[in-house]
Structure 1
Amino acid sequence: MNQATRRTVTFSLLALLAACGKPQSKFRAYNGPAVTQVVVNKGARKLYLLNGSTVLKSYDVGLGNVPVGHKQFEGDGKTPEGLYFIDRFNPRSQYHLSVGVSYPNENDTALAQALGREPGGDIFIHGWGPDGNRLAPTKKDWTAGCIAIKDDEIEEVYAMLRPGVPIVINP
């Protein structure tokens, strides 16, 4: 093997090793059609990302630890139902990544106050993170009211969504 060939092989191997050792970022790029709506069907445990009426992606989800019924107040363990909006992104979530849902709205706040309670908040679509990796394999609905998907799936969702996208959460 001549000097030039040996050098080429050496640099190729070094480049390959460097690529193998590089940690993969949890932040992905997305160049496809815009997500115009998120739909969650609680009964079917499904989340859909839509462009118009076309389903771009679908995911199996876990819900609050009391999966039936609309969230009424802080600590009830229920996932809200109704029309909300994507309102924030948390890149440092304890659940890998998370995307905020605009709960509570005015009606949610009024209902909770009528019950003499606080409506709660911090409802997110989030990954499993360490808690979910421990709980989700044996308990489908384990969150305090959030919508949970696998860590690699929240990476896709996080890249695809934008603030202001409506999310409809059905019973």
Structure 2
Amino acid sequence: MSNIYSFDVVKNNGEKQALSDYSDKVILIVNTASKCGFTPQYEGLQKLYDKYHEQGLEILAFPCDQFGHQEPGDDKEIAQFCSLNYNVSFPLFKKLEVNGDNASPLFSYLKKNAPGIFGSEGIKWNFTKFLVSKKGDVIKRYAPKTAPEKLENDIKEELEK
């Protein structure tokens, strides 16, 4: 796999989505959860999306229940939560696993191409973020505690390329 465009994923409504449909876009991929201390980051993610979507930013949210059972709902409940509480308009995808034997191939690829601190590939918690260039290359990984607004300069820089 040379970049993320070779992956297909499933939207939270069950529709298949080719990541190649996002070619020439700057993409922020996030594993999310509805009952996490970092859940308010949905607000910051939506602000980034509102501000930069027209310039080519896509934010792709992948709910995950592997950390403290903080995403217990089904895909419909997750979508309702995001809409009602944070007015999320960026794409939500089917709940998946990011670590272990059943990890999503996309997240396995992201972790390999942007390892965490000390080279570890495992995702430590919800709201780990991956920035992807317009060419589909993984640029950077951000820790869960990194607030979305702290990514703004990196996003602007990628959009200007």
Higher helix share: 2
Higher strand share: 1
**TM-score, structure 2 as length reference:** 0.29
**TM-score, structure 1 as length reference:** 0.28
Bigger Cα Rg: 1
